[in-house]
Amino acid sequence: MKIKPVFKIPETVKEDTNKYQQEVERFLAGEIDPVRFKGHRVPMGIYGQRGAKEEEQYMVRVRAPGGVVTVEQLKILNQLSKEYGSDYLHLTTRQDVQIHQVDIEDTSQILFDLLEVGLSPRGGGGNTVRNIANASRAGVASDELFDTTPHALSLTEYLIKTRSSFNLPRKYKIAFSSTPEDEGLATINDLGFIAQEKNGKKGFKVYAAGGMGTASEVGFLIEEFITEDKIFHVAEAIKRFFDEYGDRSNKHKARLRFVKKRLGEEEFKIKYKEYLADVLAENIETHQINYYQLPREEVNTELEVTADYLKEEKVTGYYSVELRPENGDLKADELDQILEIELLATKEVDLRTTNRQSLLIRGVRAEQVEELLEEIRAINPELLAKNNSTVPIACKGASTCRLGLCLSPNLAKEIRNKLASLADSLQNLLPQIYISGCPNACGQHLIGKIGLEGKAKRFNGKLAPHYSLLLGGNIADGNSKYGERVIDLPAKRIPEFLASLAEELATEEDYNPAQFNQYLEAGGKERIKELAAEFIDIPTYEKESDLYQDWGQDEDFSLAGRGPGECGVGVMDIIKLDLDTAQKNYEQAVVEDDADQLYQATVNAARALLIVKGVDTQKDRVIIKEFKDKFIDGRLVATDYEEVVDAAIDYRLGDIDDLFAYQEEVKGLITRIEKLFNSLNAKLEFTIEIEQATEDDSDSTDKEVADLRGVKCPMNFVKAKVAIAPLEPGETIDIYLDAGEPIANVPQSLNSEGHEILDKEQVGDGYYILTVKKSS
Encode 644-665: b = buried (16+ Cβ within 10 Å), e = exposed.
bbebbbebbeeeeebbeebbeb
User: In the annotation, is 401 catalytic?
Assistant: no
- Using alpha carbons, select from 129, 103, 99, 92 the residue that is nearest to residue 114: 99
Question: Of the listed 395, 442, 567, 713, which one is catalytic?
Answer: 713
Crossing angle for the helix pair 642-653 and 663-679, to the nearest 10 degrees? 120
Q: What span, in angstroms and rounded, lies between the C-alpha atoms of 225 and 204?
A: 5
What single-letter amino acid sits at 386? K
* 415, containing H or E segment: helix 408-420
Q: Determine contact, residues 138/176, Cβ cutoff 8 Å.
A: yes
- Using alpha carbons, select from 120, 50, 52, 40 the residue that is nearest to residue 80: 120
- Using alpha carbons, select from 350, 332, 444 the residue that is nearest to residue 136: 350
* 58, containing H or E segment: strand 57-62
**Pairing relationship of beta strands 359-365 and 318-323 according to DSSP bridges:** antiparallel
Q: What span, in angstroms and rounded, lies between the C-alpha atoms of 418 and 416?
A: 6
Q: Determine contact, residues 448/431, Cβ cutoff 8 Å.
A: yes
Q: What span, in angstroms and rounded, lies between the C-alpha atoms of 83 and 102?
A: 9
Q: What's the alpha-carbon Rg for the chain, to the nearest Å?
A: 28
Residues 6+ apart with CB under 8 A from 388: 308, 324, 356, 432
Provide DSSP, 645-675: HHHHHHHHHTSSS--GGGHHHHHHHHHHHHH
Whole-angstrom CA distances from 374 to 346, 349, 370, 380, 386 are: 18, 17, 6, 10, 14
- The DSSP 8-state label assigned to residue 541 in this structure reads T
- Using alpha carbons, select from 410, 406, 484, 413 the residue that is nearest to residue 445: 484
Q: Which 3-state string (H, E, C) describes 95-116?
A: CCEEEEEECHHHHHHHHHHHHH
Q: What span, in angstroms and rounded, lies between the C-alpha atoms of 475 and 238?
A: 23
Q: What span, in angstroms and rounded, lies between the C-alpha atoms of 388 and 432?
A: 6
- The DSSP 8-state label assigned to residue 703 in this structure reads P
Largest distance between two CA atoms of the chain: 94
Rounded to 5 degrees, what angle do the CA atoms 219, 225, 226 make? 105
Beta-sheet strand order (sheet of 191-198) = 133-134, 174-177, 191-198, 201-208, 220-227
Provide DSSP, 66-102: GGEE-HHHHHHHHHHHHHHS-SEEEEPTTS-EEEEEE
Provide DSSP, 312-367: E-SSTTEEEEEE--GGGEEEHHHHHHHHTSHHHHTT-SEEEE-TTS-EEEEEEEHH
| Beta bridge pairs of residue 434 | 393, 451
Q: Which 3-state string (H, E, C) describes 443-510?
A: CCHHHCCEEEEEEEEEECCEEEEEEEEEECCECCCCCCECCEEEEEEEHHHHHHHHHHHHHHHHCCCC
728, HSE (Cβ side, Cα atoms, 13 Å): 6
- Look at residue 442 and give its three-state secondary structure: coil
- Using alpha carbons, select from 658, 573, 556, 644 the residue that is nearest to residue 606: 644
- The DSSP 8-state label assigned to residue 203 in this structure reads E
- CA 682 to chain CA centroid, nearest Å: 16
Active centre residues (catalytic): 713
